[in-house]
Structures are given as structure tokens and as C-alpha cells.
A and B are shown apart, each in its own frame.
Chain A
Amino acid sequence: MEGFFPQVIFTIFDIPVRDTVISTWIMMAIIVGVAAVVGRRWPAALEMLVDFLIDTISSVMGRPAGPYLPFLGTLAIFVAVANVIGIVPLVVSPTRDVNTPVALALVVFFSVYYFGIRAKGLWGYFKDLASPIFMLPMELISHVSRTLSLGLRLFGNIVSTELIVAVVFALVPLFVPLLLVAFSMLTGVLQAYVFTVLAATYIGAGLESMNNEQKK
């Protein structure tokens, strides 16, 4: 099992840099390069991707996807590529390290407050959050726990599929792990979809106003 868990490659100013961070840098270069090449040659492919993201986000949030598309689309593409890139030899999946999914979940956690406060103002947002005042502790606990579960779900799914691939590879080295690698790619794309949809759900729940029905 040595080499399965993230290794520290080198340190900069006492900050350990793991191999998952290096593969994140490789991944960023791949995404930018593919986006530049595909955008110049076949722009219709990127338009299909953006159309799919707009459809998904607007159907989940129940409102136009315009202001949230840059954030949620970036999240979807990053998580999908990060889950799938583990099949490339010598590149480890960045989401295999627990720090990457939890960092992404923390970004979602703060973006809920950012979008909520931007839409309703500081006072309006916290007034809606504490609309029955005794529910405020429950709301705050649920914000923390759903952030934790969002990060740990992505981490656990990726780690479990790669662990199964590693175990089967130790038993039967030829051809049989290929099926599980294909399954892990499917799981990775599905988990990216789930991550994006859940982030959209959380942001949409933060945008909903309790007083709308009374005003109408």
C-alpha cells in the first residue's frame, strides 16, 4: 500500500508540496491547453458543454444560470477532470488527497454566503437565515455538516474506486482491472455532476427568500 497515499515531494518554505498538488498543476495546464485548441478548432463542442451546464444549473436552481455559471461551471470542469485524470500513468488524481475535496467544499461554503449576501444584502440575508430565530443554530450546524459531507463524499468515492482498482490489480494484473478503471471513470464524472448539482442546490437555497410569499 506504499505509494497509494499522497507523498510529499518537496517543501517550499516549510510548506510540504504533495504529488497531488503537482498533478493539479499538470491538470490546469491540460485544461487550458485543451480549451484553447478545442475552442479554436471545434467551438461547437465547447458550446455543447456550456449549454449542458446552463441547462443543468438553471433547472436545479430554478432561476437563470447567468451569475452562477462561471463559478459552478469551473467547479464542474475541475472536479470532472480531476477525477478522471487518475487513469493517466504517473499522474495521481488530485481528489485522492483529502485536502483537495475539502478545499473545494470550503469554497462552496463561502460562496453560499457570497451569493446570498450579494442578492439580498447583508441584513436581508441574515434576517432570512434566522427567520424563526430558534432555527438559527440548526441552520448553522447544517451549513457546516453539509460542507463536510460534500467534501468527504467526493474523497471517499474516488479513494474507494481507486482502492478497488489497486486491490484487483494486485490479484489479477491483466485485463480485469480495465473494467474497474472504466467504472472509476464513470464514477468520477458522475461525482463531478453530483458535486456541481449539490453546490447549485446549496447556493439556490441560500438565495431563496422567506418573505417573498408575504410580499406577494
Chain B
Amino acid sequence: MAEMEPGTLITLVTVIVSGVAILLGTLTPAIVEGRAVLKALEGMTRQPEAANDLRTTLIISMALLESTAIYVLLICLILIFANPLLERFF
């Protein structure tokens, strides 16, 4: 560890942090989306005549929920492919 260059340490930390970030950032929206689908399916079975409205609302809200996972993915891509710390210091 003593002979490690500073750039290597930043790369190592970046990779580990990206893995943790993509794990948490996809786990949470997946759970929440599953809950949304569950509630929508319950509503559809209870009231089949409202299925079309529910489907449209479900797709929109799932896109909105999924955008948080997309933000995490973008941040991970920036960290891995265009790390601002590496460009600033080295």
C-alpha cells in the first residue's frame, strides 16, 4: 500500500464507490416500482373498467421512479469514464 500512486487510490475508491452506488441506486427504485405495480394490479382486478387509465398512470409513474436509477447510472458512468478528480489532479 505504501508504494501506491495517488491516481491508483482514486481509481480504486471510484470503482468501489460506483459498485455500491449502482447497487443501492437500483435496489431502491426496483422495490418501489414493484410496490407500485402491486397496487396497480390490485386496482385493476378490483375495477377492470379502470384498467386503461391505471395502465397509463402506471407507465408514467414508473418512468418517473426509474429516473432516479438512471441518475445513479449517469453518475457512475461519469465517475468511471470521465472522473473529474483524476482530470483535476493528474
Contacts and interface: CB of A to CB of B under 8 A. Distances in A.
Interface size class of B (residues with CB under 8 A): 10 to 19
Contacts of B67: 149, 152-153, 156
B75 to A, nearest CB: 10
Q: Interface majority SS on B: helix, strand, loop or mixed?
A: helix
Interface in B50-90: 53, 56, 59-60, 63, 66-67, 70-71, 73-74, 77, 81
Contacts of A207: none
Given A149-B67, A153-B67, A198 B60 contact: yes
Tell me whether chain A's interface is mostly helix, strand or loop, or mixed: helix
Given A152-B70, A152-B74, A159-B77, A194 B59 contact: yes
A60 interface: yes
Which residue among A1, A156, A157, A160 has the maximum number of chain B CB atoms within 10 Å of its CB? A156
Nearest to A154: B70
A208 B18 CA distance: 42
Contact of B60 (A1, A159, A194): A194
A152 B71 CA distance: 8
Interface string A122-157: 000000000000000000000000000100110111
Interface of B: 53, 56, 59-60, 63, 66-67, 70-71, 73-74, 77, 81
27 contacts: A1-B81, A5-B81, A56-B56, A59-B53, A59-B56, A60-B56, A149-B67, A152-B67, A152-B70, A152-B71, A152-B74, A153-B66, A153-B67, A155-B74, A157-B70, A159-B77, A160-B70, A160-B73, A190-B59, A193-B59, A194-B59, A194-B60, A194-B63, A197-B56, A197-B59, A197-B60, A201-B60
